[in-house]
A and B are shown apart, each in its own frame.
Chain A
């Protein structure tokens, strides 16, 4: 079941683990928000156009489609 895929391909409602974040400023911001490689999150919503909302505990983070395409995840 641990097929690696991109965040923008995940169906809403799926529990996932973050495998790889794009490096640089985006990664630093993710770290501050509480997400690193290995963090388990849920894909909460997917908006038309590819903007993804992921949730973790009591937190929700909106990820633009261009970033979502560069994040590798796997189902858990």
Chain B
């Protein structure tokens, strides 16, 4: 997200950019959705940190930015927001009218930047409820920009906002004390005014950008603290002039919000949240829905018919097994088709007779290696499609929905506060709980968001924890299903083991890495009931990305395994690993196959245990090993990019070591 001096090479015909800016949790996304409609591009995900949304409104390009409290470079979200704002033609600044004192700081900074600004004074309904009175006209006059009262959730004031955006060209009333300095710097160095302001405020990134051109001269402009204090005082003065509150005091946060950070009840709150999540994802989706989609649609409808279709024309052996109510095979027969079904109608009729009216399972053995790779047990077009569409898709939707609910409800910052002290023990602050929770969605995505943390030390610790111990939604989905099968005891053992490893890695890294945790300082948004429309949008967008990203690796993985199966390499690998798998982990030799798939994708690995007949404790051993085992290729790539080659490879290699040591120890104890 670098800005390439585009401000300097503006052309008259260029499409205008509307950029939405505001503090976190002020309702920006509702404005964005309203402006852009359905067609939105999410750019970021593998490459950069935070989700950047881009869409169109009439002739404008509309950008959403991450919520920030000001323009600066304290973390990645701020850097990205700042760089998009630098490119803006019009800024729509969404302001939480209830927290005017906090939000106007950014507003004044945006106005000081010299960009045209429209202020949407949002949440006016809550302002009324809280008996706060805001003199909007006066505020607009003081700021020198249009200020429009809105209630985003009811789309009140949207028409006026759009009208103002389309017509706004004027910039607001800047701080007189700095406006002259800004224009001087801008003129002297030939840069835009917003960049001049940032240089004046000593913004490290902008200073760095120009320092080669102006030697050390730029450093002399750091007046940040003075400007900030002045701006803060101006905000307080403005608020004193335009806001009057009828009631004094009152409860700040809702009952739920207070419970969430209560020393004792907060813990119950976490348990309730986790239980609800379990009901949604663990029970409803991973058991009932997936059972239907995977077995009924995936296996019986899709795979069977696809294979039958292929078997019409190509040589194949079909093993038909008759199964009774106890899922046991009572009869079995193999039918040979030298040149496919069509060529041997007699055999085909025999097979039909054999299967008629019984509960049967078909096992297709294609003669051609190519067909095995495409339609066999691990077929690129059979198993891969089934896993991806009928097993993973419903589960991933479930997990992303849950994540969206957690994000939109405003619970995450409270959770961060609640666990702050605990996270200190593993060298992190409460904020690190956010990448961790996101890791349960997608480790790759979470690894990127570790940039939110301020020190290298914290990034190191959380990256190692994420890549080694946290299972991603796709893997978790498969794990949940397998654990449900294995029973309560197995689930408990699994959780206990994983938690112990997690704590041990954290404590160890905290001990051996020099330095200490940086303290927490965050604003807590009020807890709200998430808006369904937003949840659906977020979930669909992320799911789409997931399938797009993961899909390719799935096909590659299936191809590799299929290829190895056909060439006999798979059996070699199983043999090589078998002392480890059979003697040390005490799993069937075929479990090695899961590990090979696990290198490609984590969930793919766990899914490899699906077809094996494991005892509950073997399931635990297998799952512990595969969870701790190497992260998927996508997240390995991101980790190497984020943490560098040597550190990334050390973490990757440790995951091999830790996975097999812990898995083995658990196995020796349990089995």
Query: Which A residues form the contact surface with B (CB < 8 A)?
Result: 23, 25-34, 36, 44-51, 53, 55-68
Contact = CB atoms under 8 A, between A and B. Distances in A.
Nearest to B425: A49
B130 A61 contact: no
Given A31-B229, A34-B105, A57-B99, A51 B252 contact: no
Contacts of B418: 47
A64 B261 contact: no
B225 A28 contact: yes
Given A27-B225, A58-B99, A61-B522, A49 B424 contact: yes
Contact of A58 (B69, B130, B233): B130
A62 B266 CA distance: 15
Interface string B516-537: 0111111110100000000000
Given A47-B261, A48-B263, A53-B417, A64 B252 contact: no
A49 B420 contact: yes
Contacts of B225: 23, 27-28, 31
Interface of B: 69-70, 72, 74, 98-99, 101-102, 105-106, 130, 224-225, 228-229, 231-233, 235, 252-253, 257-258, 261-263, 266, 413, 416-418, 420-422, 424, 429-430, 517-524, 526
A49 B421 CA distance: 5
Given A45-B262, A47-B417, A66-B519, A34 B228 contact: no
Nearest to A26: B521
B429 A33 contact: no
A61 B517 CA distance: 19
A33 B69 contact: yes
B521 A65 contact: no
Contacts of A60: 252-253, 257, 523-524
A45 to B, nearest CB: 6
Interface SS majority for chain A: mixed
A66 B99 CA distance: 26
Q: Which of B70, B228, B417 has the most CB of A within 10 A?
A: B417
Contacts of B130: 58
Nearest to A48: B263
Given A34-B101, A58-B130, A59-B99, A51 B521 contact: no
Nearest to A63: B521
Contact of B420 (A32, A44, A62): A62
A53 B525 CA distance: 12
9 contacts: A28-B72, A28-B224, A45-B262, A53-B417, A57-B99, A59-B252, A59-B523, A61-B524, A67-B519
B417 to A, nearest CB: 4
A23 B70 CA distance: 18
Contacts of A33: 69, 102, 523
B123 to A, nearest CB: 10
A18 B102 CA distance: 17
B228 A62 contact: no
A59 B101 CA distance: 9
Given A31-B228, A32-B69, A62 B416 contact: yes
A48 B421 contact: yes
A34 B233 CA distance: 9
Contacts of B524: 53, 60-62
Given A57-B99, A57-B252, 19 more contacts: A26-B521, A31-B225, A31-B229, A31-B232, A34-B99, A34-B102, A36-B229, A45-B262, A47-B261, A47-B421, A49-B422, A51-B430, A55-B253, A56-B101, A63-B520, A63-B521, A64-B424, A64-B521, A66-B519
